[in-house]
Structure 1
Amino acid sequence: MPQWLNTWNAKMAKWLWWVVLLGVVAALPVVYAREQTETSADQVAIVMDYRDLLQVSNTQVDPRRFVQEQIELLKDAGVNGMVVFESTLEELGWAGEVNVYNATQAALLEGRVSPPEDNGTYVIFNHPESEATLRPIIEWAFRHHGAEVASWSFGGHGGLRLGMGYDDALLRPMQPNPIAIQSLRDAGFLVFPRLSDRFDPFDQTEVAKWLDSYQQLGIDRVVFDGEAVTGYADDDKKNKGITRFAGELKEHGIGVAIFENLRIPQKGMSKLANLLRYNAIRAHSVSEAEMSAVKKPVLEDRLVLAVKDRNIRFLYLNATTVRDATKGQVTHPLQNIADVLKGEKDEDGNTVSVGVVQQLRDFGFEIGSPKAFQVEHAPVEKVLRGIAMLGAIALVALTIGLFLPSLRLLSLVVGAIGGAGLYVLSPTLMVQALALFAAIAAPTAAVVLLVKRIRTLRDSSGEPAMSPLHRLGGALLLFVRTTILSLAAVPLVVALLNHISYSLVLQQFRGVSILHLLPIALVALYVFLYGSGNTVVGNARKILSMPLTVLWIVGIGIIAAAGLYYLSRTGNSGQVTGIELKFRSLMENAFGVRPRTKEFLLGHPLFFAGIFVALRYRWGMVLLVLGTIAQLSMVDTFAHIHTPLLLSFIRVLLGLGLGLIIGLVAIGVWQVLERLWVRWGKRVLEDAG
């Protein structure tokens, strides 16, 4: 390596830290803009599946009366909206609007024998006043589905004969029932039609008629049923189904709701939301099966956390009947839903729970008509984000330079040129990759610099002349410095991923597992291979030449198992035990915001105590490797873009505060054990020898 290049690499480090600082400062206005966006919509809809309500009513002796009673019960509890699906003959039957017969049943009604070649479906309208509305809907839908439609009547009631098998006809979708929609609007509910992509081909003219009626009723948002948004099956270069559907929604001022945590995201949703300029909100659904099994306190916490922690503005509740063999009756969860929303009191009038509605109000939310976030932008945001990108590239180059100093300048140049080229080819991929690299680099660099600093504070013999109190003060200062450096990645990541599509989880921060593993691995690499008076190669040879014992094998197996468990808990798919759920609920109720367990209960105490121990004993560096979990976890907390920034900030502060307290206790216990060992332990060993 030329001497001039080594000189430049050495000088470059100082200036790169200034570039990082400039990037962090430039990112702050973008961070503030995102915080303003997240506080621009505070109304939440709590909605019930109207089809489920009809289905449950079909098990009752007086379905219509039951529906009215439950509607009043739910409305009083806080439900302010109803989801109305595309109607079917089966659903219209549950609602009492029609009677549906197969060919044999229709023949019996008329006192004749059904001919073998007749396998049609017969529909009778129960209410003449409803026939004028429902007849054209049924006629259009079944003709669109390819069936012949003819008039039929019986007993003075008008009807239709549909040229389609009975079982098939019951399931075919039609326009959402306008009679039910009008009735629910008159009752004071918000209505959210749930549309599908089951009409083939997509009929823009017909859908426009539906949207006209919704606009007149003040309906401003729809949700989707099935695996795709309306128009997806007809979306190609020629037909452009989603584009045409989006145009109709925009013309009628109607937005969409996006369900979270679906096994497979609904196809076409990202494109539709983009075409609607992100007139979209996030929705959380509690399925029929979950609603029948979940306990009230768990459901209450789940709904509140969805709104508070994940920017959900649409709580979607379902219900179904359950054949309860123990009670010997059919049950349903509607009363439980009301209790969860409104709260409960015991027989003595004491409050058992305040309910979801009151908790949401306590956190600053209102039950109302949900609106999409009003996206705010910082002045000259593109320029600020560009500076933040440069700061992130400098941070990555500095981190590489800690391991390979000769590559510091080259890393900066390659990063800048490669980043620019990738931005031209795929801006989304570039910012996601750079955000991940910055998130990895910050905690890695922070802990590595800490290790270097601790090594310089110890004398050559490894026994520093520092009192326990002096070490405690030094540990606290080093802990704060390291934490601040780790958090330098936060504004950079926020600025890089500052787009509403991330808040709606149409795009996500990528590489969570890598973020949770690589900083720990890099810190371990530095601790064991760098320093100690030898070269990296020399240290590696020394480790590899150590005899492999059974104890080593057991230790490696334990570390591997712990690592797999740790990685399995990352992201949103990790499973938790019932005890942990109770502990989380306890923390949530105690602080209002739950700190991350891996931070305050494990990472921060290990890290703080590890600094204290490492200032005297070399083996304390192992604790720093384990404690790196908390440093990277703080950055990861802010990488959950769908979580409000303010809440993430509070969560990190709580984790730090509680972690320091637990760390202080651990240091106190260590000091006691250390003194006992000095006073008694050595003597016991000598006597035993």
Structure 2
Amino acid sequence: MPQWLNTWNSRLAKWLWWIVLVGVVAALPVMYARVQTESSSDKVAIVMDYRDLLQIGNTQANPQAFVQEQLKLLKDAGVNGMAVFESTLEELSWATEVNVYNASQAALLEGRVSPTEDNGTYVIFNNPEHEQVLRPIIEWAFKHHGADVTNWSVKDHSGLRINMGYDDAYLRPMQPNPIAMKMLKDAGFQIVPRLSDRFDPFDAAEMDKWLQSFQDLGVSRIVFDGDAVTGFGKGMKFGGVQRFANELKAHNIGVAIFENLKVPQKGMANLANLLKYNAIRAHSVGEAEMTTIKNPVLEDRLVLAVKDRSIRLLYLNAIAVRDAVKGKVSHPLGNIIDVLHGDEESKGVVHQLKDFGYELGVPNAFDVHKAPQETILRGLAALGAIALCALTLGLFLPSLLLPVLVIGSIGGAGLYVLNSTLMVQALALFAAIAAPTASVVLLIKRLRVLRESAGNEPISGSRRLGGAVLLLVRTTILSMAAIPFIVALLNHISYSLVLQQFRGVSLLHLVPIGLVALYVFLYGSGDTVLGNTKRILSMPLTVLWIVGIGILGAAGMYYLTRTGNAGQVSGLEMQFRSILENTFGVRPRTKEFLLGHPLFFVGIFLALRYRWAMVLLIAGTIGQLSIVDTFAHIHTPLLLSLIRIFLGLGIGVLIGLAIIAVWQIGEKVWDRWVRGARSAV
């Protein structure tokens, strides 16, 4: 490279650090705006699936009395909402509103033999006062499903004949039961309708009637059943989602978005955008897991969902189960009540939520706050992130600092024009990788300088301890430089609702470790990078090396299974996490305070004297990158993430101090034994 370029690169590096600082400062108001946004919604709905309650009631001797009793118990325990599905003939029969017969059964009621060509479905209304409400609902629904509906009666009971097979008709959706919704509203529950995309084509006029009835009942939010939002299907070609969004806005109704679905519901991101993000996050406990989950685990799960992941609607399911051990049909409603209300062993979900500043009520969407001149501030943050990435690459290839900065700035601007979302996500990932990488590499350079300046005179233990504390603080502050950039670049409500996510979590967990290892082994060891590479490649491959590589590979695979939202966690660790949560109120990340931070702190202390201790810094990089990764979970409140990393750092340092104390004692014992052995000789 020309000398003038090297000179420019040297000068440029100093200025780029100032640009990084400006970017960090510019991001701070954006971070404060996000905290304001996250503080604008503190009400939580605990919603029970009303269809499940009816299904369980259908196993009891007196279904109606059982349902009414459970409604009161659930309400007293803290359930303040009921989810009401689109009706079916099956559900209406569970509610004792209708009796449903196939053709053979209907013929027996009439005292005749059913014709072989008759495979229709016959419905009798049990409550004459409810017939005028339910009859038009059933007639419209089945005509919309393509079946003829005619009047039918037997023994002075009026009803309908549906020209559709019994098994098929039994499951076809209809308008949610307005009688049940009014009863639940009068009982003090907020109503959460659960709609589907099973009506084809989408009928905007009919949907307007539904939503008007919902609005009259005070409905403020709906959830969806199935794999798509209402209006998505074939109606999407004609703007079905757009028309449905217009209807929701006209009736001031928002949506709730279920988290952790195997496949996100189709059309949800588009619908939320059309609603100007009048949306909240919902967490569901499925029917099957509700029958097996332990009460303490369920309690922790519900509290953490609200506190740690900004969930504002807890959706509870239940199912009747044939219990062969007890010889009866059992259900989890009693356990649900105990978990919510609390018992002698636990405070209960409702009480814990109040302790954390949440209250039961009708949840509202986040009131999005913006920093003054936020666009300019985010632009400065983006420039700071580019500078940080260039500086990190410059630590490995100093001669390319200026070209990388120019190319990165031009490329980033071009990508922003083509796809702004992709650009900010990519830049957030690069900044997240760059900060912990640069901080640890600069630490290694500083340790080498300190060790060389000491010469053959070893640094005392007290000086190494003080130096380790200062170097840890400096390194952590630099690693945290990525946090404002991630927050500013991805400061959009769609990330808080997890309609969009931070991309590249696996890369964030691997690349900094790999780059730090690359720097330790190839840079600054008294030879050129090429020379060190040749020396390592020429080393003989022994069985010990093969075993070591295998162990590292297995450890790496296990490490990757622990990353991201789908990380695998054992039952024992779940109990350990629960203890941490109950002890501190906020659970620090295990890989930070048990592994990353102690290794890193001890590694700095030992590296001030021993060259081999640099290996500990490679493993300890996990703690530094995990600090950044904590803020990649954008649905977690920002203040809680800050508490989590400082708590993890503090505990990690205490563990590190204990390890250092043990090491110092062992080192002194070893020195005395060696001196004693030499004097004996």
TM-score (norm 2): 0.99
Post-superposition Cα deviations, 1:537-582, rounded to whole Å, max 9, x if no partner, equal: 0011111111111111111110110011001110111221111111
* Number of equivalenced pairs: 681
CA positional deviation for 1:9: 0.4
| Structure 1 residue 191 displacement after superposition | 0.4
**Aligned AA for 2:341?**
K
Secondary structure of the residue aligned to 2:623 is helix
1:408 to 2:405 alignment: no
Q: In the alignment, which of 463, 477, 481 is matched to residue 470 of structure 2?
A: 477
Per the TM alignment, residue 463 of structure 1 is displaced from its structure 2 partner at its CA by 3.8
Partner of 2:171: 171
Map of 1:312 onto structure 2: 311
Q: Paired residue for 1:348?
A: none
Q: In structure 2, give the amino acid aligned to 1:292.
A: T
- Which residue identity is paired with 2:207? V
1:462–1:617 contact (8 Å) kept in structure 2:
no
Q: Is the 8 A contact 1:284 1:316 kept in 2?
A: yes
Instruction: Provide the C-alpha distance between the structure 2 equivalents of 1:296 and 1:459, rounded to a whole number of angstroms.
Output: 58
Query: Matched residue of 2:362: which SS?
Result: coil
User: Structure 1 counterpart of 2:411, which letter?
Assistant: G
Q: Secondary structure at the match of 1:323?
A: strand
Greater Cα shift, 44-53 or 576-585 = 576-585
| 1:251 equivalent in alignment to 2:250 | yes
TM superposition score normalised by structure 1: 0.98
Deviations, residues 254-296 of structure 1 (Å, cap 9, x unaligned)? 0000000000000000000000000000000000001000000
Percent pairwise identity: 73
Aligned partners of 1:462 and 1:618 also within 8 Å:
no
Q: Which amino acid aligns with 2:395?
A: L
- Over 3 Å counting, the alpha-carbon distance change for 1:177 and 1:462 in structure 2 is farther
* Superposition deviation, residue 681 in structure 1: 4.9
**In 1, distance between residues paired with 2:253 and 2:457?**
69
C-alpha contact 2:200 2:235 (8 A) present in aligned 1: no
Deviation at 1:676, TM superposition (A): 1.5
Q: 2:629 aligns with which of 627, 636, 649?
A: 636
Corresponding position: 1:154 with 2:147: no
User: Partner amino acid for 1:67?
Assistant: V
Find the counterpart in structure 2 of residue 419 from structure 1. Answer: 412
What SS class does the counterpart of residue 452 from structure 2 fall into?
Answer: coil
Residue identity in the other structure for 1:256: V
The equivalent residue for 1:73 is: 73
Write the letter of the residue equivalent to 2:63.
Answer: P
Q: Which of 489, 492, 516 matches 1:496?
A: 489
2:191 and 2:217 in contact (8 A); partners too = no
Please name the residue that 2:122 is paired with.
Answer: 122
Residues 1:681 and 1:302: Cα distance change in structure 2 (over 3 Å): farther
- 2:524 & 2:246 partners in 1: Cα distance? 64
Give 1:138's aligned residue: 138
Q: For 1:392-424, what per-residue CA distance to the aligned partner results, in whole angstroms no more than 9, with x for missing partners?
A: 000000000000000101111011000000000
Residue correspondence of structure 1 range 511-660 to structure 2 within 5 A: 511-660=504-653
Asked if the contact 1:234/1:240 (under 8 Å) is kept, the reply is no
CA distance in 2, matches of 1:431, 1:464: 49
Q: Which residue of 1 aligns with 2:338?
A: 339
Note if 1:328 corresponds to 2:322.
no
Unaligned runs of 5+ in 1: 346-351
CA distance in 1, matches of 2:482, 2:455: 33
Opposite residue 78 of structure 2, the aligned amino acid is G
Compute the displacement of 1:465 (Å).
Answer: 3.9
Q: Hey, what's the Cα distance between the residues in 1 that align with 2:679 and 2:276?
A: 77
1:685 offset after TM fit, Å? 9.8
User: What residue number does 1:84 align with?
Assistant: 84
- Counterpart for residue 379 of structure 2: 386
Q: How far apart are 1:445 and its partner, in Å?
A: 0.1
Separation (CA, whole Å) in 2 of partners of 1:79 and 1:16 = 55
Describe the SS at the equivalent of 1:565: helix
Aligned counterpart, 1:262? 261
CA displacement at 1:234 relative to structure 2? 3.1
Aligned to 1:298: 297
- Give distance in 1, aligned partners of 2:669 and 2:555: 31
Q: Which moved more, 1:152-161 or 1:274-283?
A: 152-161
State the Cα distance separating 1:459 from its structure 2 match: 2.3
C-alpha offsets along residues 612-656 of structure 1, whole Å, 9 cap, x if unaligned? Answer: 000000001001000000000000001100000000000001011
Separation (CA, whole Å) in 2 of partners of 1:282 and 1:686: 72
1:130/1:550 CA distance change after superposition, 3 Å: same
Question: What amino acid sits opposite 2:451 in the alignment?
Answer: R
Question: Is 1:486 paired with 2:479?
Answer: yes
Q: Hey, what's the Cα distance between the residues in 1 that align with 2:228 and 2:68?
A: 33
1:240 aligns with 2:239: yes
Once the two structures are superposed, the pairs formed by residues 11-50 of structure 1 within 5 Å of their partners are 11-50=11-50
Code of the residue aligned with 1:302 in structure 2: it is: R
Residue 468 in structure 1 maps to residue 467 in structure 2: no
CA distance in 2, matches of 1:462, 1:603: 29
- Aligned to 2:313, what secondary structure does the other structure show? strand
Q: 1:139 to 1:599 in 2, by over 3 A?
A: same
CA distance in 2: counterparts of 1:128 and 1:391, whole angstroms: 71
* Distance (whole Å) between structure 2 residues aligned to residue 181 and residue 685 of structure 1: 90
Separation in 2 of the partners of 1:154 and 1:43?
50
For residues 324 and 8 of structure 2, the distance between their equivalents in structure 1, rounded to whole angstroms, comes to 79
The alpha carbon displacement at 1:460 in A equals 6.8
CA distance in 2, matches of 1:199, 1:683: 89
Partner residue of 1:508 out of 501, 511, 520: 501
Counterpart amino acid of residue 596 in structure 1: R
How much is the aligned-residue C-alpha RMSD, in angstroms? 1.2
Change (3 A) 1:464 1:267: farther
Question: C-alpha separation between the residues in 1 aligned to 2:147 and 2:678?
Answer: 93
Alignment-mate amino acid for residue 249 of structure 1: L
Distance in 1 between residues matched to 2:312 and 2:331, nearest whole Å: 26
Aligned to 1:105, what secondary structure does the other structure show? helix
Assess if the C-alpha contact under 8 Å between 1:234 and 1:242 holds in 2.
Answer: no
- Residues 368-392 of structure 1 show CA distances to partners (whole Å, capped at 9, x for unaligned) of 0000000000000000000000000
Separation (CA, whole Å) in 1 of partners of 2:183 and 2:589: 46
Match of residue 348 from structure 2:
355
